[in-house]
Amino acid sequence: MTSHQPVTMTPRLERVFARGREFLGVEVPIMCGAMTWISESSLVSLMSNLGAFGCLAAGNMPPDEFAAEVERTQELTDRPFAANLITIAPNYMAHLEILCSAKLSHIVFAGSIPRRTEVEKAKASGAKVMCFASNPSIARRMIDYGADGLILEGSEAGGHIGHVSTAVLLQDVLFEFGPQVPIFVAGGIATGRMIGHLGLMGASGAQLGTRFVVADECSAHARFKEVFIKARSREAIATPQYSSKLPVVAVRALNNPAMDRFGKLQLELLGRLDAGELNRQDAQYEVEKYWVGSLREGAVDGNVERGSLMAGQSVGLVKRTQPLREILAELVTDADSALGEAEQRLQGQHATG
């Protein structure tokens, strides 16, 4: 097993994030979001070995491949990590069975609202369950189903997104349910200073994606990373839904021909729906199939002109590639600085740098 010296927190960060550290079983309660084609065994295990928290992206991976990926991750780290299950994926139930058999420490439900029985099944395997909550009613229901923790992901995030910004979710969900369960905040986060202030607001930790794409150890293609470094925040746009006949989950990505092709695909699928050539479920499957293939073209093959460039608005804060350890250490240092500055303000002093 590969050995890595974990990144450590400062005493005041340990106090602020004690709940998140205990819940995840880590030194640093910073999660790497599950990103298709990117959050694979090597990156996930390294995150965990460095004292943070990795999360495998299940997507709609063939069950045999997913089982092998889980096993590889367990071989590479003996520290806690999670896998992110997409509840609307055709292979979802097979993926859940695999994780329960593998006795993962944490299981994340994403994509849609899981059934109570599915949450109970995951908990019965010994896993701590985390669910996404995009509004108070979903948060309340997930806690009632038995979720041990929640993830708030604002619309600033990359990939498939909800409709509400992180700033509103903090007020709507974190402040109300934070005292009940650990809550981890995602969407638009790329700096340690932001993580420090989220801790002061009551967050148990943070989840980042875009920042970790440009880690040296991330398997994303060099051209994919280069585009991220050059991009501005406003260039990460969300796809529209053309008609309620074809409900699609919005995707945030850097604007390129892949976004235009998706618009044309929606119009084509709507025409086929009207003609009775396919049903809505099949049309939605074609949408997800498009994104999986298009993202592979960009992130794996490096075709940044035609492939999807899924990125959060925090892409404008990404300046360079760095070793993953360096990124995590920088996040911790800057989070601690933010807490120090907050202490000085409370004492009526001015921060001096």
First-to-last alpha carbon distance for the chain, in angstroms, is 41
Q: Is residue 88 part of a domain?
A: yes
Q: Are residues 153 and 291 in the same domain?
A: no
- CATH classification at residue 332: 3.20.20.70
Residue 85 in contact with residue 96, Cβ under 8 Å?
yes
Q: Are residues 201 and 304 in the same domain?
A: no
**How much is the mean pLDDT over the chain?**
94
Q: Which residue has the higher pLDDT, 46 or 286?
A: 46
Residue 184 belongs to what domain range? 11-219+319-344
What mean pLDDT comes out for the span 320-347?
96
Q: Are residues 185 and 330 in the same domain?
A: yes
Q: Is residue 350 part of a domain?
A: no
Q: Is residue 349 part of a domain?
A: no
What mean pLDDT comes out for the span 159-180?
95
**Cα dihedral: 35, 36, 37, 42 (round 10):** 50
What is the C-alpha to C-alpha distance for residues 84 and 252, in angstroms, rounded to an integer? 19
What is the C-alpha to C-alpha distance for residues 60 and 259, in angstroms, rounded to an integer? 21
pLDDT band at 2 (very low <50, low <70, confident <90, very high): very low
What pTM was estimated for this model as a whole?
0.94
* Nearest alpha carbon to residue 60 among 76, 33, 37, 44: 37
Helix (H) or strand (E) holding 349: none
Q: Are residues 306 and 325 in the same domain?
A: no
Q: Are residues 331 and 301 in the same domain?
A: no
Give the chain's domain count. Answer: 2
Q: Are residues 262 and 329 in the same domain?
A: no
Q: Which of 231-245, 283-297, 321-335 has the lowest mean pLDDT?
A: 283-297
Percent of the chain residues topping a pLDDT of 90:
85
Q: In what order do the strands lie in the sheet with 149-153?
A: 30-32, 205-208, 183-186, 149-153, 128-132, 106-110, 82-86, 55-57
What is the C-alpha to C-alpha distance for residues 163 and 233, in angstroms, rounded to an integer? 18
Q: Is residue 224 part of a domain?
A: no
Q: Are residues 210 and 295 in the same domain?
A: no
pLDDT band at 199 (very low <50, low <70, confident <90, very high): very high
What is the C-alpha to C-alpha distance for residues 68 and 182, in angstroms, rounded to an integer? 30
Residue 60 in contact with residue 292, Cβ under 8 Å?
yes
Q: Are residues 102 and 155 in the same domain?
A: yes
Q: Is residue 73 part of a domain?
A: yes
Q: Is residue 225 part of a domain?
A: no
Q: Are residues 67 and 196 in the same domain?
A: yes
Q: Are residues 50 and 152 in the same domain?
A: yes
- Model pLDDT, residue 23: 98
pLDDT band at 352 (very low <50, low <70, confident <90, very high): low
Q: Is residue 89 part of a domain?
A: yes
Q: Are residues 187 and 252 in the same domain?
A: no
Q: What is the DSSP string of 147-207?
A: -SEEEEE-TTSSEE--SS-HHHHIIIIIHHHTTTS-EEEESS---HHHHHHHHHHT-SEEE
Q: What is the DSSP string of 46-97?
A: HHHHTTSB-EEE-TT--HHHHHHHHHHHHHH-SS--EEEEETTSTTHHHHHH
Q: Are residues 162 and 39 in the same domain?
A: yes
Helix (H) or strand (E) holding 127: none
pLDDT tens per residue, range 62-112 = 999 999 999 999 999 999 999 999 998 889 999 999 999 999 999 999 988
In this structure, what token pair is assigned to residue 292?
A: 């999986």
Q: Is residue 326 part of a domain?
A: yes
Percent of the chain residues topping a pLDDT of 70:
98
What mean pLDDT comes out for the span 261-290?
89
